[in-house]
Structure formats: structure tokens, C-alpha cells
A = this chain, B = another copy of it.
Amino acid sequence: MNGRKFSAKREEILKQLQSTKTHPGAYWVYEQLKSRIPDLSLGTVYRNLNVFCKEGKILSLGVVKGEERFDGISSPHPHFICSCCGTILDLPMKKAKTLFRGGFCTKNSFLIDFRKTVFYGLCGNCRENSNKDSGVLPLEMTGRKRCVKCETPVFTDVINFLS
């Protein structure tokens, strides 16, 4: 009674997001599909992007210049965000490592001003509550690997990045 049903529009929204490397926002996805699917509504795009995020099928890159941006590739990888125009680029691991070490801009390329490293998860309180209430973890936490100690879902790929 809480399952997900097939929806052609949902599929198209996912495909559209996965078809680009521009890390767009909801409106871009809507606009692209609108010509092909005239009776698509922006609300549906928002709804489904949220669904994908919670299912771990896509990645939210957070709000850039007032608009939430998404990545159709859900495996975590470094990004570059231009603080001037909002362009988002996938950052090859090799380049990321160079930037970490270098601390200055690379010739003919973008200039790194600063970076942010943020850990996401559950604080002690919320973790306790989510276990107590229903045994159900927040949707954001589902679909991931589990802690070797306590069986809680956890993302282990942190080991691989820049370690």
C-alpha cells in the first residue's frame, strides 16, 4: 500500500536529467520535455526529482543562485561551481587532486577560490528518534550500504575520494 507505480513521465524526467552534463535545475528539465510532452506540468517535475533524490537515483547539488541543481549521476564525485555564473562542472579526480595540492588556478582554466566539504548524515538525536519511532530511517538515508557495526545505512565511498 505504499508502492511506486510506473509512470511514463517519471521515466522521461529521469532520462532527460541523465542526458545532460549541465547539472540543471527543475525548470530546465521541464522546458526540455515540454515540447515532446505538452501536458507535462512543472509540479510533476519537482515531485519526481524529489522522488529520485530520496531513492538515490540522482544527486542534489544544493541551491546555486537560488535554484536547486541536480546531477543525473548519483555516484558521488567532485564538482566545480562557478560562483560568478553558476556553471557546474564534473571535476575529474585527477584535476581535483591537483587543485587540492596546488591551491592556485590552473592556466586557461577555471580559478578555484575556495571549496566546501560537507558531511551529511544523521546527528545523534535524529538517529535515535528514527530508530525509536518506526524503525524507518528518513527517506534520504535509504538505499545505501549499511554500517558494519550497527547496520545503519551508510555511504562508504568516502574512503575512495582523495584518501
Which residue numbers of A lie inside 8 Å of B, CB to CB? 61-63, 76, 78-85, 87, 89, 91, 96, 99-105, 107-127, 129-130, 138, 140-141, 144, 147-150, 152-159, 161-163
Shortest CB distance A80–B (Å): 5
C-alpha gap A57/B149 in the complex (Å): 41
Q: 6 A-B residue contacts at CB 8 Å?
A: A62-B62, A80-B121, A83-B140, A101-B163, A114-B158, A115-B158
Instruction: Provide the residues of chain B in CB contact with A89, threshold 8 Å.
Output: 123
C-alpha gap A37/B105 in the complex (Å): 44
Instruction: Provide the residues of chain B in CB contact with A126, threshold 8 Å.
Output: 82, 84-85, 87
* Docked-complex contact B83 and A109, CB < 8 angstroms: no
* Docked-complex contact A110 and B121, CB < 8 angstroms: yes
Shortest CB distance A147–B (Å): 4
C-alpha gap A130/B110 in the complex (Å): 12
* Docked-complex contact A123 and B158, CB < 8 angstroms: no
Contact of A83 among B100, B121, B157 (CB under 8 A): B121
Shortest CB distance A7–B (Å): 26
Shortest CB distance A87–B (Å): 5
* Docked-complex contact A147 and B105, CB < 8 angstroms: yes
* Docked-complex contact B118 and A115, CB < 8 angstroms: yes
Instruction: Provide the residues of chain B in CB contact with A62, threshold 8 Å.
Output: 62-63, 116, 118
* Docked-complex contact A113 and B141, CB < 8 angstroms: yes
C-alpha gap A129/B85 in the complex (Å): 11
* Docked-complex contact A148 and B78, CB < 8 angstroms: no
* Docked-complex contact B116 and A117, CB < 8 angstroms: yes
